[in-house]
Amino acid sequence: MLPVLYSFRRCPYAMRARLALASAGIEVELREIVLRDKPGVFLDTSQKGTVPVLVTDQVIEESIEVMDWALEQSDPEGLLYGGKVARNLVERCETEFKSHLDRFKYATRYEGVDREKERILSSVYLRELDSILADGDYLFGNQIGFADIGIAPFVRQFANVDRTWFEAQEWDCLCGWLHRFVTSKRFASVMIKYPKWEEGNTVTIFP
């Protein structure tokens, strides 16, 4: 029986899980859910109710742990070459960047939030990425790695809030890196649209 991946196409956490599974060449049963109408079996599987969730002989509920699991099984592209330093940069995406991104993108959901301040705070991490990318096409050299697939979906989310502003900033290396990512066959292959999953549907195999 294949592992089951509960996913939502536009969620950056789910994107990076799909990217890791695709790179590892691990087939899963993909169950595309709609977040405003979560199926009961999904909520029974994971009480947190957010994607991705990977069900193997265990339930893996965090996207970075899905990435770890997939690439520990198989890493034909050598995505893990950045080691602990790369993983730390991905973890900082969540602790130092994502909370500001959410408050910038969804400012009306947070009481007393200064949207422009949150954009400025988000940019601190992005400028660091730009500085790193001055030394190579990817975050740890000239080869795509764990950090790139773990971070790029969130930078894409930030850029899409105000693309004109994003592209006007002095972070050309970051813009080039993001452009290569979003226009790649790799990204296109994990962003294929699938119908909403319901019990009894024909099984969808990914990748």
18 and 48 belong to one structural domain: yes
Q: Which residue segment(s) compose the domain that 171 sits in?
A: 79-185
Evaluate if residue 108 carries a pLDDT over 90. no
Residue 196 pLDDT? 94
Three-state DSSP class for residue 107: helix
Residues 97 and 178 in one domain: yes
Would you place residue 201 in the very low, low, confident or very high pLDDT band (cuts 50, 70, 90)?
confident
Nearest residue to 19 via CA among 183, 205, 157, 189: 189
The verdict on 48 and 146 lying in the same domain is no
39 in Cβ contact with 199 (< 8 Å): yes
Same domain, 72 and 94: no
Pair 133, 161 in one domain = yes
Q: What is the pLDDT of residue 179?
A: 97
- Tell me the CA distances in angstroms from 163 to 12, 90, 126, 133, 159, one per residue in order: 17, 23, 14, 20, 5
Averaged pLDDT for residues 89-112: 92
Percent of the chain with pLDDT over 90: 90
Structure tokens at 184: 């790649």
pLDDT tens, position by position, 163-188: 999 999 999 999 999 999 999 999 99
**pLDDT of 28 strictly over 90:** yes
Which runs of consecutive H residues, i.e. helices, occur in the chain? 12-24, 40-45, 63-73, 83-92, 99-105, 115-133, 146-161, 163-168, 172-182, 185-190
> Are 151 and 176 members of one domain?
yes
% of residues, the chain, pLDDT over 70: 100
- 97, 158: one domain: yes
Model confidence at 200: pLDDT above 90? no
Query: What CATH number does residue 192 fall under?
Result: 3.40.30.10
Same domain, yes or no, for 194 and 132? no
- The CATH number of the domain where 155 resides is what? 1.20.1050.10
Check whether residue 104 and residue 71 sit in a common domain: no
On whether both 144 and 194 belong to a single domain, the answer is no
Q: DSSP string spanning 63-85?
A: HHHHHHHHHHH--TT-GGGGHHH
Residues 121 and 170 in one domain: yes
How many domains does one find in the chain?
A: 2
pLDDT on residue 87: 96
Task: Using alpha carbons, list the distances in angstroms from residue 168 to 47, 69, 125, 159, 162.
Answer: 41, 38, 17, 11, 10
- Choose among 155, 156, 138: nearest CA to 147: 138
pLDDT tens-place string over residues 38-97? 999 999 999 888 999 999 999 999 999 999 999 999 999 999 999 999 999 999 999 999
pLDDT at 107 over 90: no
Reported as half-sphere exposure (CB side, CA atoms, 13 A), residue 184 has a value of: 16
Residues 100 and 159 reside in one and the same domain: yes
pLDDT score at 149:
98
